A = this chain, B = another copy of it.
Amino acid sequence: MRIAVQSQPFELGAETEAFASAASGAGAIVTFTGIVRDTNQRLAAMDIEHYPGMTEKALTSIATEAQARWSLSDVLVIHRHGRLVPGEMIMMVATAAPHRADAFAAAEYLMDYLKSRAPFWKKEIGADGAEWVAAKDSDEAALQRW
Interfacial residues, chain A to chain B (CB-CB below 8 A): 11-18, 20, 23-39, 87, 89, 98, 100, 103-104, 107-108, 111
Contact = CB atoms under 8 A, between A and B. Distances in A.
For the complex formed by this chain, how many copies does it contain in all?
2
Given A30-B31, A32-B104, 12 more contacts: A13-B13, A13-B16, A13-B17, A16-B17, A24-B87, A26-B35, A27-B34, A28-B34, A28-B35, A34-B100, A39-B98, A100-B111
Given A104-B104, A107-B104, A29 B24 contact: no
A32 B34 contact: no
Contacts of A18: 13
A116 to B, nearest CB: 13
B33 A28 contact: yes
A58 to B, nearest CB: 19
Contacts of A98: 37, 39
A13 B26 CA distance: 17
Contacts of A32: 28-30, 100, 103-104
Nearest to A103: B32
A114 to B, nearest CB: 10
A12 B103 CA distance: 17
13 contacts: A12-B20, A12-B29, A13-B17, A16-B16, A16-B31, A24-B87, A28-B32, A28-B34, A31-B31, A32-B104, A39-B98, A100-B111, A104-B107
